[in-house]
Amino acid sequence: MSFKKLVFSGVQPTGNLHLGNYLGAIRKFVALQEQSDCIYCVVDMHAITMWQEPAELENSTREVTAAFLAAGIDPTKHIVFNQSRVMQHAELAWVFNCVARMGWLNKMTQFKDKAGKDRENASVGLFAYPTLMAADILVYRATHVPVGDDQKQHLELTREIAQKFNHDFSDRIRDLGVGVEMKSGEETVHGFFPITEPVIEGEATRVMSLRDGTKKMSKSDPSDLSRINLTDDAETIAKKIRKAKTDPQPLPSEVEGLKERPDADNLVGIYAALAGKTREQVLGEFGGQQFSVFKPALADLAVDKLAPIAAEMRRISADRAYVDQVLRDGGERAGALAEKTMKDVRRIVGLLGD
């Protein structure tokens, strides 16, 4: 036996999807579906770890779904659904809460960043949501997850949880005949969960603000000029590129020359990602040129790649019944897979059922 290759990933529905979401996640989802079975989730349960206006959450969930579909994800060949439709995510998360250690969660830097100084008032969900993320992935026994740089730590926690579960219940998994013989360090165990691998590839895995190349592009930035929203029209996209922060020097001919120039590095990375090139190739074409030459070329490229997606998103979003049907169908298919996993998990840990 071995684990069948399966890709899982999710996007939070917190409104205003932007270029960073597209380049860092959604575009990869589209590429991966050509070579793997894929499950793509709108993680609405993660979103409520911080307060969300209920009506806005509903709209944002549909918007992310529309973005998936507009970018080219095929919901008939793969699964697209929202997390809360499949109760087994929360059920497995509780099992993982009992497997994970407090020390592991205390190391999670994203909780510290989001909770800020007033951690005592942060929700328990915000602290524990890495175990839910692990459950999202492992309830389907997914083998690969496309992740951005900021999620690598959470995927490492997922791997630690899987390893501990496999180790703790190895004999039980063997006796029930539901696992795979696998290496865990120097030891051979009977594992039920795969040790999920990250998929990190391509340029612009971390897209920065157009107004400050040292900060990540964010939907929460008060300046709309700091990001390109996936709903922006062609004129708005071009304007934001024109107004993007740069420095007075021409572009270097070598990547090394971008090291101390975060704004230039960000724009070159965006061009490379949109064009399907490396930074080296972009600098081979534009090295020595002023930004007055490079920015119009980047604006034309961004409009060419993103404006059609924005138009398709608007078209799909207008058909709410279709979006809801995609999520309903995806939820049913995902739920069947998740329940198959949970039936075995309940037996492995000793929870009595039918």
Length of the chain as a residue count: 354
* DSSP H/E element including 187: strand 187-191
Residue 216 appears among annotated catalytic residues = yes
Burial 295-325 (b: 16+ CB within 10 A, else e): bebbbeebbebbbebbebbeebbeeeeebee
Choose, from 114, 164, 239, 343, the residue flagged as catalytic.
114
Cα angle value 86/165/40 (rounded, 5°):
30
Contacts of 55 (CB under 8 A, 6+ apart): none
Choose, from 216, 245, 277, 343, the residue flagged as catalytic.
216
Handedness of CA 341, 347, 351, 354 (dihedral sign): positive
Q: Output the CA–CA distances (angstroms, integers) from residue 178 to 43, 107, 121, 301, 350, in the order listed.
A: 28, 32, 42, 50, 14
Task: Kindly give the pairing relationship between strand 180-184 and strand 187-191.
Answer: antiparallel
Helix (H, G, I), strand (E, B) or coil at 210: coil
Choose, from 107, 164, 219, 343, the residue flagged as catalytic.
219
Name the β-bridge partners of 198: 145
Residue 219 appears among annotated catalytic residues = yes
Q: Give the residue numbers annotated as catalytic, written as ranges.
A: 114, 216, 219
